[in-house]
Chains A and B, each alone.
Chain A
């Protein structure tokens, strides 16, 4: 029963969504299921937060290695949660000035906005920005033009990178108008519009077919890996 009911739930939910696409009468049911899906996604965020709290509280109580960082993590988590859920410092909405809770939770100037603007945004942006160094370093170590495929990959990357820079444009600016197609910025556009489009379309078609077949396998109960191993049942 612990495995059979989830299988049926998956099958019914999946079939309802597919039916709602093809059968106009089932569209309302499909929309309802999609809203339920969004609500469950909201609960998943709460589950994630709860799990984070559980793991790091245990780490602090056990005084495990690096527990000091867990304290910082818990403090930043709880402060953000408190100011966000409590709408601290948020003014009422101009439409309902007598209702102090009617303002938007991320109002500019509120503590929650402050945390987003001055902690969340710079931290995540810098983490992604750092990848520039790692991509450059990894490609320098890994890329070797030792066969046709590698030459094509490297050459294209080089043209695309140069085509978006001032230096790249300047390098081929001396070419006459009759050979303007060979200017690096035009070559870059041509590669993107023709070869990149062709390759990307083939990949997208492949991905779509893969997702469709995997989804069907899950809905029909052929693929049950998401339920975990039967031997690990309590």
Chain B
């Protein structure tokens, strides 16, 4: 082991020992939760449609808690939901009653904070060099995000908009009792197109997926054509037709007028630069040159904003590491937003 490796190994071992010590003594990364009991009572007579009345956490309006307490257990549905809770509330509850079960240490969420921290450090390790940690984190992000968007698409689009339209009764009985749709067999068309799209996965007949792709592109073009012409083209022109001489309370506003002239003038010179039907020489060339200057200012502003956005994201990640994970920024748990 060379000198450099030895130094880094000692640094990492010391840091690891420090983390283990702090986590064992409850000084970091712990997440707490509050148990909220939910209970519902079916007050309908036998054979009737169920009528569920909330009994916990608070009794539904116009209902007597004593009356609801008389119903048998088979008329009840209950579960416990766990909400995030700050450390200070947990500490207060334990101080008042050491045996209380409302505020609890969440093992799963504490593991989650540790996992997030490890993933964050694994991604940051790429700044040094491509490592096994980064590759693992990369594989996880690809797998989780692909599945995440599939699940979102399934529950928010495929179930209500496709299966719910083709067979509302099944969806109502299964996952969306509140769905109020009537059967519409026209939705066989997107089902067939969807199946044709998935044909892309088959080893042969790749051309079959061209039909849904063609539909996809056609609709996209139609939506974008009208959307951009209305929302961007006309809207931007409309917003740029403004008075160049600005009057405030009957008197001439120099700075307001200058701003209007620069805004409209800047837009026009930029458009001249984008206009390629004339050769950019003479007066057109000079105007286009000024257009480039305005565009450079725009790109500079865009660059500055992008950098600020990324630095803000970086600050959020560092805040997570030092605050939520290491508890170094606010060990007494008086964090912002808590």
Q: Which residues of A contact B (CB under 8 A)?
A: 2-3, 5-7, 9-18, 21, 32-52, 54, 66, 69-70, 72-81, 84-85, 87, 91-99, 101-102, 105, 108-109, 112, 114-133, 135-136, 139, 148-150, 152-161, 164, 181, 190-209, 211-212, 214-216, 218-219, 226-227, 233-234
| Bound Cα distance A30, B173 (Å) | 30
Q: List 30 A-B pairs, Cβ < 8 Å.
A: A9-B211, A17-B219, A33-B222, A36-B187, A39-B187, A44-B197, A46-B194, A54-B201, A73-B140, A73-B142, A75-B143, A77-B142, A80-B144, A81-B147, A97-B52, A99-B177, A108-B84, A109-B81, A117-B116, A118-B111, A118-B116, A181-B255, A195-B266, A195-B297, A195-B298, A196-B302, A198-B262, A207-B228, A214-B221, A226-B217
Contact code string B285-312 (vs A, CB < 8 Å = 1, else 0):
0000001111111111111111110110
For A77, give the chain B residue with the smallest CB separation.
Answer: B143
For B239, what are the chain A residues with a Cβ–Cβ distance below 8 Å? 201
Tell yes or no: B198 within 8 A of A by CB: yes
- Size of interface on B: residues with Cβ below 8 Å to A: 135
Could you tell me the distance in whole angstroms from the C-beta of B166 to the nearest C-beta in chain A?
11
Count A-B pairs with CB separation below 8 Å: 436
Could you tell me the distance in whole angstroms from the C-beta of A58 to the nearest C-beta in chain B?
12
Across the interface, do B119 and A122 meet the contact criterion of CB distance under 8 Å? yes
Tell yes or no: B246 within 8 A of A by CB: no
Tell yes or no: B21 within 8 A of A by CB: no
Chain B's interface: helix, strand, loop or mixed, by majority?
helix
For B308, what are the chain A residues with a Cβ–Cβ distance below 8 Å? 160-161, 164
For B112, what are the chain A residues with a Cβ–Cβ distance below 8 Å? 114, 117-118
Across the interface, do A91 and B314 meet the contact criterion of CB distance under 8 Å? no
Q: Which residues of B contact A (CB under 8 A)?
A: 33, 38, 40, 42, 50, 52, 54, 77, 79, 81-84, 108-109, 111-113, 115-117, 119-120, 123-124, 126-127, 135-155, 157-158, 161-162, 174-178, 186-187, 189-191, 193-194, 197-198, 200-201, 204-207, 210-226, 228-230, 232-233, 236-237, 239-240, 255, 259, 262-267, 270-271, 273-274, 291-308, 310-311, 313-314, 316-317, 320
